[in-house]
């Protein structure tokens, strides 16, 4: 696992996405698939502006998505911008869960492609954009999406796809300029770092650690595609985090956990620590565990979660 690039797990990271429109004036009033009348400048035969994703769309500041990643994009128009006698505004769905795939064009450059070419509706109506990751066909025609994180996040793929992202940009005027979407992690992150204590160095501790499991969390969730709210839903499961050396990372839906347990097996001996914990979207909690080798086994001291500023510490006998 060492050497993996954790593209979505930086603390308080914002993911900058860009929807890019080609040059030219808009004339049509309907969405269109690609036709042979499109010119190189990204306008259709009738002058409509093409919508496309810019190659620089990134997951996390300083890093990029990977080839093969897919996102879902929604584009809606407000049919009654000012409302009608207090009646809720009506919306017209223009793009409904449109899938875009990151493709490698060479030299490490990614480009986002959809199955068809897409266009602005007209040259005057503002549009709302929303996107999420990872893509699911089940989101089409829905506002609530059943999703969740993997209970086994030991592989890079499982860990990456457990990072649920969402973002929006509202009231965007038709333009030839790029439309920027700022998205955030809807999951929270727990980071457990093992530190060698008495009788261990990093090498010997790495060899002695047999497993680390997080207990008490719910992995299932429901994502509100309109607001970005992610709520945990389902049964409690044991979570196996992604390991990079002595650092273990897990992504979890927001939830209050009355009894959260870190269970570690070192040199054949199991030690654990339980505490109440609050998982919040786009927040990272870090727990540092010092492992001492002693005559009759292993003593494990646990410090507090750094982001909370409280001491949940103790020594396990």
pLDDT of residue 119: 83
| Residue-wise pLDDT tens digits, 2-16 | 443 333 333 223 333
| Residue-wise pLDDT tens digits, 216-255 | 999 999 999 999 999 999 999 999 999 999 999 999 999 9
pLDDT of residue 62: 31
Burial of 136 (0-12, 13-18, 19+ CB in 10 A): middle
Q: Which two tokens stand for residue 246?
A: 């002595």
pLDDT of residue 315: 43
CA pair distance 268, 231, nearest whole angstrom: 37
pLDDT of residue 57: 47
CA pair distance 178, 176, nearest whole angstrom: 7
Strand duo 284-294 + 188-196: pairing: parallel
pLDDT of residue 26: 28
pLDDT of residue 169: 86
User: Which residues are CB-neighbours of 39 under 8 A, at least 6 positions away?
Assistant: none
pLDDT of residue 121: 83
Beta strands in 59-207 (DSSP E): 70-78, 91-106, 109-113, 118-119, 127-133, 144-148, 165-172, 178-185, 188-196
pLDDT of residue 307: 55
Burial of 83 (0-12, 13-18, 19+ CB in 10 A): exposed
pLDDT of residue 91: 78
Q: Which two tokens stand for residue 109?
A: 């450059």
Q: Which residues of the chain have pLDDT under 70?
A: 1-48, 50-64, 79-89, 109-110, 176-179, 294-317
pLDDT of residue 299: 56
pLDDT of residue 300: 54
Residue 123 CB neighbour total at 10 angstroms: 16
């Amino acid at each position: 696992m060492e050497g993996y690039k954790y593209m979505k797990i930086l603390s308080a990271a914002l993911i900058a996405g860009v929807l890019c429109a080609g040059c030219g004036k808009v004339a049509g009033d309907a969405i269109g698939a690609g036709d042979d009348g499109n010119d190189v400048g990204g306008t259709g035969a009738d002058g409509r502006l093409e919508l496309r994703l810019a190659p620089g769309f990134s997951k996390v500041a300083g890093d990029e998505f990977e080839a093969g990643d897919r996102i879902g994009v929604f584009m809606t128009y407000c049919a009654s911008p000012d409302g009608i006698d207090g009646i809720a505004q009506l919306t017209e769905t223009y793009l409904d869960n449109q899938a875009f795939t990151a493709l490698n064009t060479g030299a490490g450059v990614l480009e986002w492609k959809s199955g068809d070419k897409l266009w602005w509706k007209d040259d005057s109506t503002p549009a709302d954009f929303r996107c999420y990751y990872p893509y699911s066909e089940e989101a089409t025609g829905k506002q609530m999406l059943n999703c969740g994180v993997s209970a086994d996040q030991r592989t890079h793929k499982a860990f990456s796809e457990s990072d649920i992202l969402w973002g929006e940009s509202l009231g965007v005027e038709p333009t030839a300029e790029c439309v920027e979407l700022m998205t955030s992690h809807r999951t929270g992150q727990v980071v457990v770092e093992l530190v060698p204590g008495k009788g261990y160095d990093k090498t010997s501790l790495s060899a002695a650690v047999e497993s680390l499991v997080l207990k008490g969390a719910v992995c299932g969730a429901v994502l509100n595609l309109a607001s970005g709210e992610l709520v945990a839903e389902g049964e409690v499961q044991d979570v196996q985090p992604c390991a990079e050396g002595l650092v273990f990372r897990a992504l979890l839906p927001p939830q209050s956990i009355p009894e959260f347990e870190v269970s570690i097996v070192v040199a054949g001996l199991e030690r654990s620590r339980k505490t109440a914990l609050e998982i919040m979207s786009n927040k990272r909690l870090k727990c540092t565990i010092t492992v001492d080798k002693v005559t009759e086994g292993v003593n494990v001291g646990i410090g507090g979660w750094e982001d909370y500023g409280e001491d949940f510490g103790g020594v396990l006998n």
